[in-house]
Structure 1
Amino acid sequence: MGELIEVGSPDLASAALVPMLIALVAVVLYGLFSADTKNDDDDSSPGGGLMQPVS
């Protein structure tokens, strides 16, 4: 009646694993070595921020 069509193949899954791991390592390294020292969650400096107390 009908033909079974396989969408994914095991070869394709193993080939996609390598770029996925490279991207994961790149995101982790960017997160570890990014020099963003701005902290918007404390009240140590005047000005607007996300965690300002309600007066």
Structure 2
Amino acid sequence: MQPRKPPQDPIPFGFLLVPNYSMIAFSCAIEPLRMANRLSNKHLYQWVTI
């Protein structure tokens, strides 16, 4: 079995923020992505709010 190569481009995520959305749920979704980027010193993930 060959080891998987990490993707070259960041993996994109889009978050649709609807009225009365839960900020804690949004934070719980973003924080692991942000920390992975920070700990790896790479842009593994990117996100946009819609």
TM-score (norm 2): 0.38
Which of 1 and 2 has higher RCO (CA within 8 Å, sep 6+)?
Answer: 2
Q: Which one has a bigger Cα radius of gyration? A: 1
Larger strand fraction of residues: 2
Whichever structure has more helix as a proportion of its residues is 1
Query: TM-score, with normalisation over the residues of structure 1?
Result: 0.35
